[in-house]
Every structure is written in C-alpha cells, then in structure tokens.
A = this chain, B = another copy of it.
Amino acid sequence: MMSYKRGPRCWWPHLVSKALSLAISYALTLSLREKGKEMYASAGCLLSLHHSEKPEHEEVCEFRPYTCPCPGASCKWQGSLEAVMPHLMHAHKSITTLQGEDIVFLATDINLPGAVDWVMMQSCFGHHFMLVLEKQEKYEGHQQFFAIVLLIGTRKQAENFAYRLELNGNRRRLTWEATPRSIHDGVAAAIMNSDCLVFDTSIAHLFADNGNLGINVTISMC
C-alpha cells in the first residue's frame, strides 16, 4: 500500500493534466484536425466527426492513450492498455498487490493532514484492479474520504464486474457497491459526482482503529 501527499490541485482533467505529453502531441493533433480526422485515428479510431464534435469525443475515445493511473502522482507516463501494468510494476514498485476476490485495503495514518491518497492493487479474475482512498477538501473546511475501485482495463471490460467496499465497526457497517471505473476514466469525475464511497472524518473515526482504516474490498463478476 502506498500513500501520496498531494498538492491541493492535482486533479486536472485527463490529457489537459499531461502538459508535457500535450506539448509533444500538439503538432500531430493540429495536423490531424486540419485534415478533419479524429485525433486518435492513427491509434485505431474509425469515427469521422464534425469539427465541433471532436473535442467531446476525444475525451471518451477508447483509442486515446492510457495515462498513469496513480492518483495525484506527478507521473507523466502514457501508453497502451497493455503497457499500464508493466509501467506500474517498473515505475511504482511500492504499490502493494494482493491476490484474491476478497481482501482488506488497510489505509494507515488516516489522520495525516492535507490531501492524501492511499493506493493498492488487487488481482483476481485474471485482471488487476486499483483501489484508491483519497482524502481531500471538496468543500472548504470539510475534509472527506473518497474510496473507489478502478479496473486496469477498458470501460466495456469494467462492466463485467461489481465491487463492494465495506467499513465494519462496533455494531455499525457502511457499504458501497458499484461497477468499477476503467482507468481510462480515472477517479476525478467519480469524486466530483460523489459516485464512490464517500465519508467524512467523523465516520472514519467510528471505523478506524488507532488511526488505521481497514476497508473490506470484494470484487465479483456479474
């Protein structure tokens, strides 16, 4: 398990955050745009869109490159889906992986001040899932925790799974069940819409033990 301390504004939208890569791909994008082609046509996208429709499509296009899924990290890597796991194993060695459908994601020191991410990997059903717990102040003066599961895979693959996050305490249980997000979509939009397990510091303390919070994570096929 790995925790990152983040600056207050790490969650730029996809691609826009990747200033460096953007600069490199800018010339290519421009020339493709002039020819009326979709930005990721060379990567396999066959759509032919009107000029005004392109930016919106490119945001969700399955053929745009995958960026490093580590939340809040400054890693500028991007590449194909197949290259994501090798990248994580090579460049983010400190992220723990647990095998199995039912594991415990133990976030230590949840009282660390400021914006913090806890990240680990879960491997089951022949796939890798990234578990993210993020602490941030979406509303000033009100710190909240957001927990979510991402599939290292496409949006379509993600629809074949369901996940359950469970906090267990003294005669109390809080459970969130949903479909994993694809790392192609990332966690920012989910957190923006509270489309994940959301709880505040008071709830965290109801379930934490000595500043450590255990989240039961169960993945299933559906």
A172 touches B198 (CB 8 A): no
A101 CB within 8 Å of chain B: no
Q: Which of A85-93, A121-129, A200-208 forms contacts with chain B?
A: A200-208
Contacts of A173 in B (CB 8 A): 175-178
A194 touches B206 (CB 8 A): yes
The smallest beta-carbon distance between A194 and chain B, in angstroms, is 4
A142 CB within 8 Å of chain B: yes
Q: Pick the residue among B139, B162, B197 that contacts A139 (CB under 8 A).
A: B139
The smallest beta-carbon distance between A77 and chain B, in angstroms, is 30
Complex Cα distance, B166 from A176, in Å, reads: 10
B198 touches A193 (CB 8 A): no
Contacts of A179 in B (CB 8 A): 171-172
Complex Cα distance, B177 from A172, in Å, reads: 5
Contacts of A195 in B (CB 8 A): 172, 202-203, 206
A141 CB within 8 Å of chain B: yes
The smallest beta-carbon distance between A147 and chain B, in angstroms, is 12
Complex Cα distance, B138 from A141, in Å, reads: 11
Contacts of A193 in B (CB 8 A): 202, 206
Closest to A162 in B: B171
Complex Cα distance, B162 from A194, in Å, reads: 27
Q: Pick the residue among B142, B177, B206 that contacts A142 (CB under 8 A).
A: B142
A46 CB within 8 Å of chain B: no
Beyond A142-B142, A173-B175, A194-B202, 12 extra complex contacts between A and B, CB < 8 Å = A139-B141, A139-B142, A172-B179, A173-B177, A173-B178, A174-B175, A174-B176, A174-B197, A175-B175, A194-B200, A195-B202, A198-B199
